[in-house]
Structure formats: C-alpha cells, structure tokens
Amino acid sequence: MKKLIALALVTASLAFSARAQWIVYDPTSNIQQILDEAENIAKYVTMIDNQVQQIDTLTSQLTEFKNYEAVFGNPSKVVLSMVAPLNADLQSLEPGKNLENLVSSADGNYALTYNDSGIYATVGVSFHTPGGQTIQRPSDQYKPFAAINDTANNYVAVAANAAQRRATIKDQIAQTTQQLQNATTDAEVQKLHGILTSLNSDLASTDDEVNQAASSVMVQDIQNRNDQQKQIQALTEQQNAEFAESVINYTAKFQLLNAPTVFPTP
C-alpha cells in the first residue's frame, strides 16, 4: 500500500513537471508580433530611402558646386602679382613739396647765385661800383626770386618722378590686360578688373601731382608779380609825396618877387 502511494506521488510530480515545460501557442499574439515587426521593417526601409535621397541630393549639390567653382573660381585662391607694387606706390609719399614749405625755405642767396646750369647769368651776391667800392646785395630782397626758383625745381623733380612712375604703371596695366585675356574664371576676371581700375586711377594721380607742382609755380609767380606792382605803387606814392614836399619847401625858402624891380637913379 505504501508502495502504491509513493508511486502515485512520483507520477503526479512528473506530470506536473511536464505541464510546466509545455509551450502555450497563442495565434492572435503571434500574428500581432509579426505585424509589428513588419511595420518596423517598413519604417526602417523608409528611413534608409530618405537617407539615400539625401545623399543623392548632397552629391548633386556637390557636383553643382564643383561646376560653379570651375566656372566662377574661388576668389580666395586667385593671387595677383600686381597687388604688391600697386599698394607700395599708393602708400608712398608724394615726391613734391607744398607751396608753404617751398616759400618758407626760400633763400635769397640761392637766387643771387642761381643760373640753372649756365642757362641764366649769375647775379652775384655783390657788385663793384665804378669808383671801386664793393656793394653787398641785400639777400632778403631776393627771396621772392628764390621762391620761384624753388617751385620751378620742385616741378621738374615731380615731373621726372611722374614720368618714371607712369612708365612703370603703364607696363603693369599691359601685364594686367594680358592676364585678363588669359583669365579662365569669373573670380579672376573680377579681381583683374579691380586691379586694372586701381592702376588707371594711380596713373591719373601722377598727372595730378604734376599739375599741383605746376600750380605752385604759377601761384608763386602771381604772388611775385603782385608784390612787384605793390612795390611800384608804394614807390610812386612815396616819390609823389617827396616831390610835393620838396616843392613846398622850395617855395617857402625861395619867395617869388611880386613887385617890379626898382633900380636906383643916377
């Protein structure tokens, strides 16, 4: 009996253990899992497709940019050889002196010894009288003539400098024009046009410098002529006043006879 009971208990435990290991199949739950997985796969495929389209768009944009760069060029990579000498010329000091400095440095002794390499006769700082006296000329009275000499020399120096610079700038313009003809990108063309415009402006500025130097000469010459007329008028007024005073003094000292001269009878 005890053996039967024990056998029954063992059989019951084995049956319970077998039931615990049995997999229960639910068709509805399994189908839903399959549908959810299919939906996830569809979303993933859509995401991949969007990424592929984005890559295609970026590739197309990159190709278009490369084509644009090939046609228009990269401005940062365009290096022009004329920029450095142009900047150097534009930043250099003008060779001429202004009229104020020329007038303030005028030296009468320079005018007295000036002959422009033998073109003019030298006045000299002194002269001799027929009696053998040596007379020193007042150098301060010759400052106006020295100012004209200085402004004329300044004009010659500016003109010579401008002529040399004009030759250099014109050569740079010719080189830039040749580079413009050989340009392959729009960026290079635009930069070369800018350099060409600047070179033409620099060329025109040399003319302005020469004109300014010439104007200084003319202004100083006008000043000298004006002063000459002023001195003549002042001297004329002084001479007229001195002559009138001399006549008055002479009349007061030498009275004219109003009565007839009476001679004594014999």
- pLDDT of 47 reads 83
Q: What is the pLDDT of residue 24?
A: 52
Report the distance separating Cα 64 and Cα 71, nearest Å. 11
Mean pLDDT of 123-141: 89
pLDDT digits (tens, 9 = 90+) for 180-227: 888 888 888 888 888 899 999 999 999 999 999 999 999 999 988 888
Per-residue burial over 194-207, b = 16 or more CB atoms within 10 Å of its CB, e = otherwise: ebbebbeebbebbe
pLDDT tens-digit map of 20-65: 444 555 666 667 777 777 777 878 778 888 888 888 777 777 766 5
DSSP state of 94: P
- Single out the residue of 177, 229, 226 nearest to residue 199, CA to CA: 177
What's the predicted TM-score (pTM) here? 0.60
Give per-residue pLDDT as tens, 63-90.
Answer: 665 665 555 556 666 677 778 888 888 7
Could you read off the pLDDT of 152-181 as tens digits, one per residue? 999 999 999 999 999 999 999 999 999 888
Residues in Cβ contact with 219 at an 8 Å cutoff, skipping those fewer than 6 apart = 99
Q: What is the pLDDT of residue 76?
A: 61
Q: Is 126 helix (H, G, I), strand (E, B) or coil?
A: strand
CA nearest to 144, candidates 87, 65, 229, 248 = 229
Give the SS3 label for residue 130.
coil
